[in-house]
Amino acid sequence: MYKTGKLLKTWYGIWREDVLDAAGKVKRRQRNIRLGTVAELPTQAAARDALARHVGASLAPKVEMALSELFER
């Protein structure tokens, strides 16, 4: 987690998630999301809770496959 911005301070969260490619191999992807402003999330703990809610919703590995790969299968 980090905070950035000069006039409007904003919290951002970074995490890694597992993604299955077309061959069935597990790859790691780094994700970055805007959590909210400091006015909305005044403390680091509040920002951490917001990040945990977002990451908890996406625990299962996702499948990344191009349309052409799907068509071939």
Give the tokens for residue 20: 């299955």
Contact 14, 31 (CB under 8 A): yes
- The residue with tokens 């992807």 is 29
| Mean pLDDT over the full length of the chain | 84
Instruction: Kindly report, residue by residue over 44-68, the tens digit of the pLDDT.
Output: 999 999 998 888 766 555 666 667 7
Domain containing 39: what range?
Answer: 2-72
- Could you please report the per-residue DSSP string of 52-68? HHHHHTT-SPEE---HH
- pTM higher than 0.75: no
| CB 33 within 8 Å of CB 27 | no
Q: Are 12 and 1 in contact (CB under 8 A)?
A: yes
Q: What's the domain count of the chain? A: 1
